[in-house]
Amino acid sequence: MAGPLIPLTPLTEDAATCEGGICALPDPGTPPAVAQPELTLISFPTCPFVQRAVIALHERGAPFETVYIDLADKPDWFLALSPLGKVPVLKVERPGQDPAILFESAVILGYLDETLPGRKLFSEDPLTRAYQRAWVEYASAVLGDIWKLSTATDAAGFDAARQTLRARLAPLEAEVAGPYFAGTDFSAVDVVFAPAFRQLDVMETLRPLGLLEGLPKLATWRAALAARPSVQAAVPPDFTARYLAQMRKNGAYLIGAA
């Protein structure tokens, strides 16, 4: 027969107190706040890949500083930071550590999603997350096609680029749930397509392109992204004028044909 229960006292302030077979851990209290790193985004005003990072930062409510550079006249300090000489570049400064430099928009998106507080833009499910990353890559191909459309210098080149872009956009109609890519939740796929649609919005101030005719889900998605506050805040107020000036500098057929 077991003897009487003997109360146990903790050995230290952090130890558990046990009595009658039941142990109670001490209240740990409020955990100490973890200092968030200081983030500086090195940018170019019309770069769609930079906009991806800006949208993600706004979605998570993270404070950050933006430094604009001229890609046609890259400063030496930027070339020393960016191995590829491209934007975006994210400078991450943590207390007591040397600054870290991240480049490539998809890598920056992943880092922000894994480290910032708030709802994630990539799924926790590995298969869904891989599916999202696949469409993130697809968005880069779409941006490449948009670049060819915006820089075409004659009617034949413009028409060919338009047909290629239309063919690239068409498969998305079967994937978009609406109003956003995966339904009501704004995700990383929305982040990367929003800058692409913004460029089309600017080009269509010149003339209709008809790229989304017969693609109602894409048309709804495009409008939903344009109305998103984080998307609207991702570019400077004079973005449209800057983008059109860039097209004009490149001798874009669309500018002359408008």
| Residues pairing with 89 in the sheet | 42, 103
Q: Is residue 113 within 8 Å of 121, Cβ to Cβ? A: yes
Closest Cα partner for 140 from 85, 69, 195, 203? 195
Flag whether the pTM goes above 0.75.
yes
Residue with token string 């207390």: 95
User: H or E stretch including 237?
Assistant: none
Write the pLDDT tens digit of every residue in 179-237.
999 999 999 999 999 999 999 999 999 999 999 999 999 999 999 999 999 999 999 99
The one catalytic residue in 47, 53, 56, 161 is: 47
Give the model's confidence band at 124: pLDDT under 50 very low, under 70 low, under 90 confident, else very high: very high
How far, in whole angstroms, is CA 176 from its chain's centroid?
18
| Torsion angle (degrees, nearest 10) of CA 130, 135, 141, 144 | -120
What is the Cα 73 distance to its own chain's centre? Answer: 26
Strand order, beta sheet including 89-93: 65-68, 38-43, 89-93, 100-103
Active site residue 23: no
201: its two tokens:
């919005």
Per-residue pLDDT band at 26 (split at 50, 70, 90):
low
Q: How many residues does the chain have?
A: 258
Instruction: List phi, psi (to 5°) of 156.
Output: -65, -45
